[in-house]
Amino acid sequence: MTGKPQALDTTPRTPSVPGTPGTALLKAVFKPLASLRLTIVCLACAMFIVFVGTLDQVQIGVYEAQLRYFKSFFLYFTLPGSQFRIPYFPGGYTLGAVLLVNLIAAHLARFKFTWRKSGILILHSGLILLLIGQLVTSLFEEESQIQLDQGQTKNYSESPYFDELAIIDQSKPDSDEVISIPASRLIKGQTISLPVKGVQLRVDESYENAALINPNQLPSPNYPHLRLGPMAVAVEIQKTYKQNERNQPTAGVTVLKDGEPVGSWALSSGFPQPVQFKIASDPFSIVFRPKRYYRPFSITLEEFKHDRYAGTDIAKNFSSKVRLVDPSAHENREALIYMNHPLWYSDLILYQAGFGNNDQTTVLQVMKNPSRLIPYIACGMMALGLVIQFGMHLVSFVRRRVVT
Amino acid sequence: MFLHWFPSFFGSLIGEDFFRSRPARRSLLEAKRPGEVGSLLLVLCALGLAACNNENISVYRVPKENNQVSLQTGSGNLVPPPPSNPANWTKPDGWTEKALSEMRLGSFQVAGTNDETADVSVTAFPGDAGGVESNVNRWRGQVHQPTLEGDQLAQSWQEETVDGAPTIIVDVETPAGTEKASAILGAAMRTADRTWFVKMTGPPDLLKTQKDNFLRFVRSFHFSSASNEEKAQPQEPPTGQVKSTNDR
């Protein structure tokens, strides 16, 4: 290709400097890990899961597709009529991890510190940083929403996907202790020990998703249901994956103190009303609700605007004027959140995401991503690496042409 | 010129073997100790383990809700803004207004002699709210009275009309000899789109003295036309349902 393959062939492939026995062992391990074939296979597999995941996204929605194909170690096949899952293909985490190890191994095994390869080194370091950043994002990113009515104040945001069964100890005068049990832990028949002395939670019934209906709407009085109150019962329905729908997990639970039942309740995240009860004269409450993330600051919605183009119903602008109060940072200020102008505060970004209730309610998306700057740095490094590498080759190429 | 030059330049780029080593230099692997490679893998494992915390039971402490409101609004007012309620009423003298909750559109305390108090609540639910019968039986159950059906149940309440809304009045108390006697005065008013409930709970003696006040309070209800207008308006998502700003 360049007219000098013979010269390359004479170059020894292994370093002549002898290594220690440990180094030799490591090389033996790293050689297959550093294989370019492995890189190609991983990239091909990644293309396959992107393709299949994109197709499946139509059926199961973006979030579930991300979980199943990209934020998983394997793709699973569930045997019909059973809970048994058989892994049949590597998932995004596996492929990402193998690619990362492959790239690092290639560097350790093959690359040398020379000026001529500095561009490639920077470029690949950027790629490694990008992969690690994506991994950190995937593991530590926190996505939630704050739904505020006009004039309402909240110091917490709620997960759009996850729910929690919260048991709240209200015995202290100034603060409450919340025991948060993820909805996924509520498995029928299981008893969960809580980090309160001698208190357990028994799950008598559990629905992944439920419809809340009037008792009169039950097909028959014996139809399996959980009674939430005099005017509402919950019946189990298929889990939803639609983007504009939310599952309403519902459970029948019994709180036990030293093995003795304290009370039994049917609770649904679709009807997050706390129920009061007592454990040994201490006041407690229990509620099934969207998972909460408490913040050290509070947000008040002062005004929500939904401007339309004159004479039409076409949205022109959505904006939320909010007041942010953080006593610990002596912060008390107004902020306007609108398209492309999120509110950055602490390690969070608050975007305008939705509205409702005749434009009386705003929905702010709250993003927490500890590695949000990494993609910018990584892309900068890759661009710099490319410029250096191409630049050096261009210069040497032009010089050769001038000489000839 | 360019067409000739570009493949030639690119060819030189590809032809360059970046991965071939030079004998005079040592690779990174040889320069580093195995421990450093191991620590890198350990970091990756730690990241992996950190990912598994979504399924864990967590315990955290939060300020009490009431404290938050006064802290955040700075007004010290613990009463949240009342929900939009298309009904007016006149509070009898001697009744004290109480803090509203999410369910209650009106909340009062009635003081009697001997430190006795009764609680009055005003709530409204869409549609028939499960049916008047089931609600009356629920009230009966709360004072340990048996469930009634059909004519028997209908005979247990009085019927009248309040501001055009068919209304039933229930007066029920615990059977004689019950250890902790209590009584319920209840009213259910059916408007075009919802059912309104007024319920007074307390000691039977106090409720007997307050029955006139209770009836006057129920009869003072005036349902604004908003209840009916709401139906005629275009369908907006109900409270709690929101749209994305990306929706068309």
pLDDT of residue A294: 93
Task: Among B22, B44, B242, select the one facing A354 at the smallest CB separation.
Answer: B242
pLDDT of residue B80: 32
Contact state of B103 with A273 under an 8 Å Cβ cutoff: yes
Give the Cα separation of B80 and B102 in Å (integer). Answer: 9
Q: Residues 100..139 of B with a Cβ closer than 8 Å to A: which? A: 102-103, 125, 127, 129-131, 134-135, 138
Of the two residues A29 and B117, the one the predictor is more confident about is: B117
Contact state of B135 with A353 under an 8 Å Cβ cutoff: no
* pLDDT > 70? residue A15: no
Best mutation target, B242, B246, B247, B248, to test chain A (most A CBs within 10 A): B242
Is A293 in contact with B54 (CB distance < 8 Å)?
Answer: no
* pLDDT > 70? residue A49: yes
Contact state of B62 with A178 under an 8 Å Cβ cutoff: yes
Give the Cα separation of B181 and B177 in Å (integer). Answer: 8
pLDDT tens digits for range B175-207: 888 778 889 999 999 887 778 899 999 999 899
Alpha helix (H) ranges present in B59-155? 65-73, 132-142, 150-155
B4 touches chain A (CB under 8 A): no
Q: Which domain holds residue B114?
A: 87-232
Q: Which of A14-28, A224-238, A296-310 has the highest mean pLDDT?
A: A296-310
* pLDDT > 50? residue A381: yes
Contact state of A354 with B25 under an 8 Å Cβ cutoff: no
Is position B13 within any domain?
no
User: Looking at residue B238, what DSSP letter applies?
Assistant: P
Min distance A375 CA to chain B CA atoms (Å): 18
Task: Among A8, A151, A318, select the one facing B17 at the smallest CB separation.
Answer: A8
Task: Among B30, B54, B73, select the one facing A19 at the smallest CB separation.
Answer: B30
Chain B positions in Cβ-Cβ contact with residue A152 (cut-off 8 Å): 80-81
Give the Cα separation of A288 and A194 in Å (integer). Answer: 16
pLDDT of residue A346: 85
B208 touches chain A (CB under 8 A): no
Alpha helix (H) ranges present in chain B? 2-15, 28-31, 34-50, 65-73, 132-142, 150-155, 204-219, 226-232
Q: Which of B72-76, B81-85, B162-166, B189-193 has the highest mean pLDDT?
A: B162-166
Of the two residues A101 and B224, the one the predictor is more confident about is: A101
Q: What token pair was written down for A53?
A: 């995941």
Chain A positions in Cβ-Cβ contact with residue B73 (cut-off 8 Å): 153, 300
Whether pTM exceeds 0.80: no
Is A202 in contact with A167 (CB distance < 8 Å)?
Answer: no
* pLDDT > 60? residue A344: yes
Chain B positions in Cβ-Cβ contact with residue A22 (cut-off 8 Å): 34
Lowest mean pLDDT among A6-15, B61-70, B97-106, B191-200: A6-15
Pairing of strands A331-338, A361-368: unpaired
Task: Using alpha carbons, list the distances in angstroms from residue B32 to A6, A28, A29, B39, B46.
Answer: 32, 15, 15, 12, 22
Task: Among B9, B68, B131, select the one facing A298 at the smallest CB separation.
Answer: B68
Of the two residues A388 and B113, the one the predictor is more confident about is: A388
Task: Among A1, A153, A298, select the one facing B15 at the smallest CB separation.
Answer: A1
Min distance B179 CA to chain A CA atoms (Å): 21
Lowest mean pLDDT among A5-9, A135-139, A220-224: A5-9
Domain of B185: which CATH number?
3.40.1000.10
* pLDDT > 90? residue B107: no
B234 touches chain A (CB under 8 A): no
Helix (H) or strand (E) run with residue A153 in it = strand A153-169
Question: Mean of the pLDDT values across residues A168-180?
Answer: 89
pLDDT tens digits for range A309-339: 888 878 888 999 999 999 888 889 999 999 8
pLDDT of residue A64: 85
* pLDDT > 50? residue B76: no
Contact state of A231 with B125 under an 8 Å Cβ cutoff: yes
Question: Mean of the pLDDT values across residues A47-76?
Answer: 90
Q: Least CA distance to B18: which residue of chain A? A: A117
* pLDDT > 70? residue B234: no
Is position B147 within any domain?
yes
Is position B43 within any domain?
no
Lowest mean pLDDT among A16-20, B69-73, B180-184: B69-73
Is position B210 within any domain?
yes
Give the Cα separation of A76 and A56 in Å (integer). Answer: 14
Is position B118 within any domain?
yes
pLDDT tens digits for range A224-264: 889 887 778 888 998 888 777 889 999 999 999 888 888 89
Q: Count of domains in chain B?
A: 1
Binning pLDDT at 50, 70 and 90, where does residue B238 land? very low
* pLDDT > 50? residue B5: no
Is position B207 within any domain?
yes
Chain A positions in Cβ-Cβ contact with residue B238 (cut-off 8 Å): 357
Question: Mean of the pLDDT values across residues A153-167?
Answer: 92
Say what percent of chain B tops pLDDT 70. 58
Is position B209 within any domain?
yes
B58 touches chain A (CB under 8 A): yes
Q: Which of A163-167, A238-242, A267-271, B78-82 has the highest mean pLDDT?
A: A163-167
Best mutation target, B52, B59, B142, B248, to test chain A (most A CBs within 10 A): B59
Q: Residues 11..50 of B with a Cβ closer than 8 Å to A: which? A: 11-23, 25-30, 32, 34, 37, 40, 44, 47-48, 50
Chain B positions in Cβ-Cβ contact with residue A101 (cut-off 8 Å): 44
Q: What is the largest CA-CA distance in chain A?
A: 96
pLDDT of residue A163: 94
Of the two residues B47 and A56, the one the predictor is more confident about is: A56
Count CB-CB contacts under 10 A for residue B190.
Answer: 17
Question: Mean of the pLDDT values across residues A212-234?
Answer: 83
Q: What token pair was written down for A329?
A: 């940072």
Question: Mean of the pLDDT values across residues A156-163?
Answer: 92
Q: Least CA distance to A358: which residue of chain B? A: B236
pLDDT of residue A278: 87
Is position B247 within any domain?
no
